Amino acid sequence: MKAAVYQSYGSPSVLKIQNIAKPELKANELLVKIAYSTVTSGDTRLRSSNFPPLFWLPARLIFGLFKPKKQVLGHEFAGVVAEVGSEVKNYAIGDRVFGTTTMLKGGAYAEYVALPEKWKNGVLAHLPKALDFQEAAALPIGGMTASYLLEKAQIKAEEKILIYGASGSVGSFALQLAKHKGAIVSTFSSASNFSWLKALGADALYDYTDFDFDNFSEGYDIVLDAVGKLGKSRAKSLLNKGGRFVSVEMLTKERENDLKELGNLAAAGHLKAYIDRSYTLSEIAEAHRYVDSGRKRGNLLIEIV
Ligand SMILES: NC(=O)c1ccc[n+]([C@@H]2O[C@H](COP(=O)([O-])OP(=O)(O)OC[C@H]3O[C@@H](n4cnc5c(N)ncnc54)[C@H](OP(=O)(O)O)[C@@H]3O)[C@@H](O)[C@H]2O)c1
């Protein structure tokens, strides 16, 4: 099968299109024919081994000290079940599914991936009828991270939340989910992203490239740093008494119920994965280059053709 493989850490040029063996299925696994994957910030981080200094060694011990253990990236996907192992109970050939490949051997930059029905770190679910593959492929990672952080912040209707870095994947999902819960949402992004963030529901928009935090008197019940660049002390200075700060730098969990909920919200038209650009698998290096630029808006699709 065709796949984008990387055998050493480095720039996007380490990603090579190759023919590799189709995964062999274990009894508890299903084989998914991938329709779409994405390039998440996590994919580029693993490719480049760009881990924070304190976590560099532990990360390399987990992901491969001298070369990557998981040589096919692609942490989220949507596709169709092509084969099922004898112990698989809840999926059948032809089912439309979406999910993640977190901590599995194989990734979704390939024609096929083998996944267990359930495993500790990642999730898989059926795709609601009204949802297409493009939209579904971009929901899991950013959507589940946003859901987890909003739940951790115990968001309630009428509360004021500030989303810093609302133009990324996590940020644009957090904005929509917070609005859906009835919160009043302010966003920080560059001015070039104002119009689509306003269309997603932002109540007040601020430009992070031209902003005087020291003379800003607004207070928030929740500050959610969706790009990990605000800093804890600045975030705390923006909180009302008893306010809560959450950030993408915190450990988060992928939860099946969150994935199902995201699918249902998207199918009902309450949530939209903003797609900045689409590439084919053979353009994967170019797609990674764009994400490396740090300017990605929302999500980047990869069509597996
Ligand atoms: N904890 C988790 O499980 C988890 C899961 C997913 C992602 N993450 C992390 O979350 C972070 C965000 O990932 P993502 O994919 O959602 O977004 P992303 O694609 O990394 O974010 C890109 C966006 O961030 C904006 N941006 C860049 N610098 C900024 C700054 N200083 N202030 C405000 N906005 C800024 C850019 O807008 P401009 O072009 O206008 O600057 C761009 O639209 C990454 O660090 C990622 O590793 C964590």
Query: What is the residue with the minimal CA distance to atom 36 of ligand 1?
Result: 295
Residue 106: its pLDDT value, please?
96
Weakly modelled stretches of the chain, pLDDT under 70 = none
Predicted local confidence at residue 214, as pLDDT: 85
Give pLDDT, residue 217: 87
Residues of the chain with CATH 3.90.180.10: 2-138+273-303
Ligand 1: which residue has its CA nearest to atom 27? Answer: 294
CATH class of 142-247: alpha beta
Looking at the whole model, is its pTM more than 0.75?
A: yes
pLDDT tens track for 251-260: 999 999 999 9
* Buried residues in 19-52 as b, exposed as e (16+ CB within 10 A): ebebbebeebbbbbbbbbbbbbbbbbbbbbeebe
pLDDT of residue 279: 98
| Residues 144, 149, 151: CA angle, nearest 5 degrees | 95
Alpha carbon of residue 200 to chain centroid: 18
Closest Cα to atom 25, ligand 1: which residue?
165
Residues 6+ apart with CB under 8 A from 218: 186, 238
Contact, 298 vs 168, CB < 8 A? yes
Torsion from C-alpha of 271, 137, 260, 125, nearest 10 degrees? 170
Confidence at residue 37, expressed as pLDDT on a 0 to 100 scale: 98
Where exactly does CATH 3.40.50.720 map onto the chain? 142-247
Count CB-CB contacts under 10 A for residue 130. 12
Domain covering 2-138+273-303 assigned CATH 3.90.180.10 in the classification: yes
pLDDT in tens, 92-144: 999 999 999 999 999 999 999 999 999 999 999 999 999 999 999 999 999 99
Instruction: Please report where in the chains the tokens 């630029």 appear, as a residue.
Output: 293
Query: Ligand 1: distance of its center to the CA of 226 in Å?
Result: 6
List residues near ligand 1 (CB under 6 A).
Answer: 40-42, 45, 141-142, 145, 164-165, 167-171, 188-190, 192-193, 208, 226-229, 248, 252, 294-297
* Residue-level pLDDT at 215: 87
* pLDDT for res 229: 95
